[in-house]
Homo-oligomer: A and B are copies of this chain.
């Protein structure tokens, strides 16, 4: 099991691209890409706040605790 951050789905639902969302929440596209593709190891609540606001969704829509498909895992 592992925690994953996935913006893909919600972004698709809201029909919003990386550039547009990045500008909206005031973060560089480069850094947003990291969050989008599950490369982040932590997240600030302020950033999560901006994302949830912009995508009009809940943290649970973005962060999930799932069975790790690949070798991905963030255990202690």
Contacts and interface: CB of A to CB of B under 8 A. Distances in A.
Interface of A: 1-3, 5, 25-26, 40-46, 48-50, 52-53, 57-61, 63-65, 73-76
A1 B56 CA distance: 11
B59 A65 contact: yes
Tell me the number of copies of this protein: 2
Given A45-B3, A49-B1, A49-B2, A63 B59 contact: yes
Given A43-B42, A53-B1, A48 B75 contact: no
A25 B48 CA distance: 23
Contacts of A41: 44-46
Nearest to A66: B58
